[in-house]
A and B are shown apart, each in its own frame.
Chain A
């Protein structure tokens, strides 16, 4: 058996262009290994660390070189390029496309202008979040959706009676994220798109070295940045063009570890880390409503019926039980804690996704879900879920912290989120 599976694995490696054929079924070929994105040939060339992660069944680089920190700085100082093909990608076409999305997610799409992108989330009937993602209106009756989890079945269940065509384009679409202050300069040099006119959360189609690409001014870094979507066949061409031009603008391939740091600075939540997909967990305590994970601004209650509407209306009226907040640990206290062991503060220079409890007067009041020492801000910052009565800015809580095996606490204050939001993110 083992021999067979190895052989299959080898074959699937040869066949790694399966995606090029657009045959989604081959994605589930019997292999113990993750599969390769259409950018893999190039990504692998830079990934001298051999530090790979499995992201939705794909090989995703954790970090490329000796450490992830140069990649982190590229996000903030020059330009980071990340293969985000593993995202699930769908197209919804047809007369009722806008109606379907308005029914499925917590906001309406009838009025979204063509060329605009909206961030949204979708809930189950109890108003608990299933997933979050972006929706781009490519045409009057044509939408493009990204998701962290497979969503085709859910969409088709909801689409009964709607005149729509649903397409899972996950495999046949290559996706790159280009983020950082020089990302626009790089794109300007290699596309025909009018990027000066492309505002935050807008999308446009363009030509990049002859290949058709969809460019949206969106991203997970909270900085100036773009996401590019192309046919898988054009993936290498697009990558090469960006890297060639990017050389003069400090472009760096960046992996998941650096991305995780910048998304925490930007205050963005992550499925499976800061909240869980409602159908994937068994108890209600692990499910969250949009109000509980900081997505209040997405929810538009007063419109035609949508999934979870009644439950959300009730929750809006009585107030959410939990709130997502930004929390900052008191650095001096942390230093003193380590000092008591004659140690310098021992924090990992990377993001941490472990949940850590927050207390007030010895009572559990919530948990930190994502934590990072921000090299840019020189602050130890966290995303946290706290009981609503402790969510006010300035509330002082106690954060558990383990120093030299012992569990202690340090003061952590509820602060504004995002932690980092440069003007360039939105300005023309």
Chain B
């Protein structure tokens, strides 16, 4: 095979597709190669049980950039994101907390646990939104590299720095605290009730191998509020037909721009001439050539797999190996015969349409982490549940429902080794359901089908190294100009004509599509294609 393309993108996840679409939009001839038979990567909707569509892996659309939606006309191609406005936190004593867009409702509901917290809550939101607003340009542009003082990086750094001009000492202090403190400590400076701190702190640990008391987790809280920047514009939400619809919309847009997408094509190696990438070879031996190769796979698979250690500088290999993947979460998808019940809620309540957070108190969450530290899944895990069929009836038969449960902790490295997940998968599923049953009595009897995904499955089926959902932890030392390695945070890699566009690149994971977009723009600007 000797077809030549301007660019080949390896992996049809949402970032790979976005990158391909932007390159094609600029008139380039692009081929996307996907090893699975379906596109989307971890942004997948699958009918695992007849009539029920699960967002198998990722389940909420968080920070998908509105500009990408407009640039690629994703709405025209089927993107429909419905907002996820409420957070519902049930407690074991039958009480619960519902937070949403109505400030007065929040105040009323929080005041049942603490009047002071109720008063502080809107101020906290305001402070975080302000921080988030300043961070926004950072996630919307390639990160300047402090080690390379070229005029353009200085200019970019100044442009980003302008955000922070004139901010007071107080703000700097808040920011420094944010960067270094644990989620619990940071929140405890604001609030007194665990019923608020518990559920709020979990956004600091999602997808990391850290506990809510681990330093640095406060920063991740901010990611939630960056979604809130688009406040009126509801950036957090559920895609119609499951998150696979997001990838599908990007793919349709890409195809309309001329991108060729081939599924069932597992790339074995990147072909190189000297230090230059010039194509890829599939496991079946087919070769494809292009002026540039882009990898949407995670940094481990990209560099240690597609390229191979032997073709890379030793220091760089070390950096990549040290880049922490260590998946810590699993997914349980349920097909339900009827809506689950929570004490004190009627079925019309918006609470069931909320993000349902099982994080009743700090110790519960810390104990869940304790298990993980010693190579066990949490006996009582933290859970983040959504019932998308309530807003989008198309994902389940009439009257039936789909429940998507994100579960943490499920460490990739079990004490018995990751392969032992094959033996522990169902026990893990039982732990999840047993815990949930305590908050939603009767849920067991509603389950028609249970689909358990462990980090081992995420690696084997979806190609996420160690089952890390973000292509590498979103911890501070792995962000910005250190993602995925110091000196290589601008999508370019040590291999010439070889680029990285997945979540392992700045600004990171989640269905944001920014790495894909920024990678394409960087390549075009550098005239690499």
- CB of A331 within 8 A of CB of B70, answer yes
Q: A66-B100, A69-B85, A377-B75 are in contact. Are A185 and B398 (CB under 8 A)?
A: yes
- CB of A378 within 8 A of CB of B233, answer yes
A63 to B67, CA, bound (A): 30
Q: Which of B44-52, B214-222, B387-395, B464-472 contacts A (4 or more CB under 8 A)?
A: B387-395
- CB of B229 within 8 A of CB of A344, answer yes
- CB of A73 within 8 A of CB of B66, answer no
Whether B231 is near chain A, meaning CB under 8 Å from some CB there, is: yes
A65 to B255, CA, bound (A): 41
A247 to B400, CA, bound (A): 11
- CB of B83 within 8 A of CB of A69, answer yes
Chain B residues lying within 8 Å of A219, measured Cβ to Cβ, are none
Chain A residues lying within 8 Å of B75, measured Cβ to Cβ, are 376-379, 420
Whether A139 is near chain B, meaning CB under 8 Å from some CB there, is: no
Chain A proximity of B108: nearest CB distance (Å): 12
Whether A7 is near chain B, meaning CB under 8 Å from some CB there, is: no
A181 to B241, CA, bound (A): 13
A159 to B394, CA, bound (A): 49
Chain A proximity of B175: nearest CB distance (Å): 16
- CB of A73 within 8 A of CB of B100, answer no
- CB of A249 within 8 A of CB of B102, answer no
Chain B residues lying within 8 Å of A375, measured Cβ to Cβ, are 83, 233-234
Contact with A along B74-106 (1 / 0, CB 8 A): 010000111101000000000000001110010
Contact with B along A62-101 (1 / 0, CB 8 A): 0001110110010011100000000000000000000000
Whether A250 is near chain B, meaning CB under 8 Å from some CB there, is: yes
Task: Report A230-280 residues with CB < 8 Å from chain B CB.
Answer: 247-250
Q: Among A332, A348, A373, A377, which residue has the most Cβ atoms of chain B within 10 A?
A: A377
A186 to B440, CA, bound (A): 29
Report which of B66, B82, B85, B398 forms a contact with A378, defined as CB distance below 8 A. B66
- CB of B231 within 8 A of CB of A344, answer yes
Q: A77-B391, A344-B129, A344-B229 are in contact. Are A248 and B398 (CB under 8 A)?
A: yes
Chain A residues lying within 8 Å of B230, measured Cβ to Cβ, are 344
Q: Among A69, A76, A344, which residue has the most Cβ atoms of chain B within 10 A?
A: A344
Whether B272 is near chain A, meaning CB under 8 Å from some CB there, is: no
Q: Closest residue of chain A to B129, judged by CB?
A: A344
A216 to B38, CA, bound (A): 40
Task: Report A330-344 residues with CB < 8 Å from chain B CB.
Answer: 331-332, 342, 344
- CB of B102 within 8 A of CB of A66, answer yes
- CB of B392 within 8 A of CB of A379, answer no
Whether A409 is near chain B, meaning CB under 8 Å from some CB there, is: no
Chain A proximity of B438: nearest CB distance (Å): 28
Q: Closest residue of chain A to B69, judged by CB?
A: A378
The count of residues in chain B whose C-beta lies closer than 8 Å to any C-beta of chain A is: 32
- CB of A379 within 8 A of CB of B83, answer no
Chain B residues lying within 8 Å of A377, measured Cβ to Cβ, are 75
A46 to B82, CA, bound (A): 22
A355 to B178, CA, bound (A): 44
A247 to B401, CA, bound (A): 12
Chain A residues lying within 8 Å of B451, measured Cβ to Cβ, are none
Chain B proximity of A288: nearest CB distance (Å): 30
Q: Closest residue of chain A to B78, judged by CB?
A: A422
Q: A77-B80, A331-B66 are in contact. Are A250 and B391 (CB under 8 A)?
A: yes
- CB of B69 within 8 A of CB of A348, answer no
A185 to B399, CA, bound (A): 12
Whether A177 is near chain B, meaning CB under 8 Å from some CB there, is: no
A348 to B390, CA, bound (A): 26
- CB of A78 within 8 A of CB of B393, answer yes
Question: What class of interface size applies to chain A in its complex with B?
Answer: 20 to 34
Q: A77-B82, A378-B70 are in contact. Are A373 and B391 (CB under 8 A)?
A: no
A377 to B75, CA, bound (A): 6
Whether A371 is near chain B, meaning CB under 8 Å from some CB there, is: no
Whether B133 is near chain A, meaning CB under 8 Å from some CB there, is: yes
Chain B proximity of A187: nearest CB distance (Å): 13
Q: Closest residue of chain B to A332, judged by CB?
A: B67
Whether B418 is near chain A, meaning CB under 8 Å from some CB there, is: no
A182 to B240, CA, bound (A): 13
Chain B residues lying within 8 Å of A347, measured Cβ to Cβ, are 232-233
Whether B350 is near chain A, meaning CB under 8 Å from some CB there, is: yes
Chain A proximity of B66: nearest CB distance (Å): 5
Whether A319 is near chain B, meaning CB under 8 Å from some CB there, is: no
A/B pair count, beta carbons within 8 Å: 81
Q: Closest residue of chain A to B65, judged by CB?
A: A378
- CB of B101 within 8 A of CB of A66, answer yes
A135 to B390, CA, bound (A): 36
Chain A residues lying within 8 Å of B101, measured Cβ to Cβ, are 66-67, 69
Chain B proximity of A202: nearest CB distance (Å): 25
Report which of B83, B100, B399 forms a contact with A247, defined as CB distance below 8 A. B399
Q: A67-B101, A78-B392, A376-B75 are in contact. Are A73 and B83 (CB under 8 A)?
A: yes
Q: Closest residue of chain A to B396, judged by CB?
A: A248
- CB of A373 within 8 A of CB of B393, answer no
Chain A residues lying within 8 Å of B70, measured Cβ to Cβ, are 331, 378-379
Whether A349 is near chain B, meaning CB under 8 Å from some CB there, is: yes
Chain A proximity of B73: nearest CB distance (Å): 9
Report which of B66, B133, B232, B392 forms a contact with A349, defined as CB distance below 8 A. B232
- CB of B133 within 8 A of CB of A248, answer no
Chain B proximity of A408: nearest CB distance (Å): 19
Chain A residues lying within 8 Å of B133, measured Cβ to Cβ, are 342, 344
- CB of A70 within 8 A of CB of B399, answer no
A407 to B234, CA, bound (A): 26
Chain B residues lying within 8 Å of A67, measured Cβ to Cβ, are 85, 101-102
Report which of B66, B69, B105, B398 forms a contact with A249, defined as CB distance below 8 A. B398
Contact with B along A331-374 (1 / 0, CB 8 A): 11000000000101111110000000000000000000000010
A66 to B349, CA, bound (A): 11
- CB of B82 within 8 A of CB of A73, answer yes
Q: Closest residue of chain B to A182, judged by CB?
A: B393
- CB of B83 within 8 A of CB of A248, answer no
Q: Among A73, A250, A373, A420, which residue has the most Cβ atoms of chain B within 10 A?
A: A73
A420 to B350, CA, bound (A): 27
Chain B residues lying within 8 Å of A331, measured Cβ to Cβ, are 66-67, 70
Contact with B along A373-391 (1 / 0, CB 8 A): 1011111000000000000
Q: Among B100, B129, B234, B353, which residue has the most Cβ atoms of chain A within 10 A?
A: B234
Chain A residues lying within 8 Å of B232, measured Cβ to Cβ, are 345-349, 373
Task: Report B370-407 residues with CB < 8 Å from chain A CB.
Answer: 390-394, 398-399
Task: Report A39-75 residues with CB < 8 Å from chain B CB.
Answer: 65-67, 69-70, 73
A70 to B231, CA, bound (A): 15
Q: Closest residue of chain A to B64, judged by CB?
A: A378
- CB of B391 within 8 A of CB of A78, answer yes
Q: Closest residue of chain A to B347, judged by CB?
A: A247
A248 to B392, CA, bound (A): 11
Report which of A65, A77, A248 forms a contact with B240, defined as CB distance below 8 A. A77
A187 to B240, CA, bound (A): 22
- CB of A76 within 8 A of CB of B398, answer no
Task: Report A291-342 residues with CB < 8 Å from chain B CB.
Answer: 331-332, 342
Q: Closest residue of chain A to B231, judged by CB?
A: A344
Task: Report B224-240 residues with CB < 8 Å from chain A CB.
Answer: 229-234, 240
Chain A proximity of B195: nearest CB distance (Å): 21
Q: Among A65, A67, A346, which residue has the most Cβ atoms of chain B within 10 A?
A: A67
- CB of B392 within 8 A of CB of A250, answer yes
Q: Closest residue of chain A to B393, judged by CB?
A: A250
A396 to B292, CA, bound (A): 37
Q: Closest residue of chain B to A245, judged by CB?
A: B398
- CB of B233 within 8 A of CB of A248, answer no
A-B contact pairs, 6 of them (CB 8 A): A76-B80, A77-B80, A77-B393, A248-B399, A378-B66, A378-B70
| Given A69-B234, A77-B80, A377-B75, 20 further pairs, Cβ under 8 A | A65-B350, A66-B100, A66-B102, A66-B350, A67-B102, A69-B83, A70-B391, A73-B82, A78-B393, A182-B393, A249-B393, A249-B398, A250-B390, A331-B66, A332-B67, A344-B133, A344-B229, A347-B233, A348-B232, A378-B233
5 closest residue pairs by CB, A with B = A248-B398, A248-B399, A250-B393, A349-B232, A377-B75
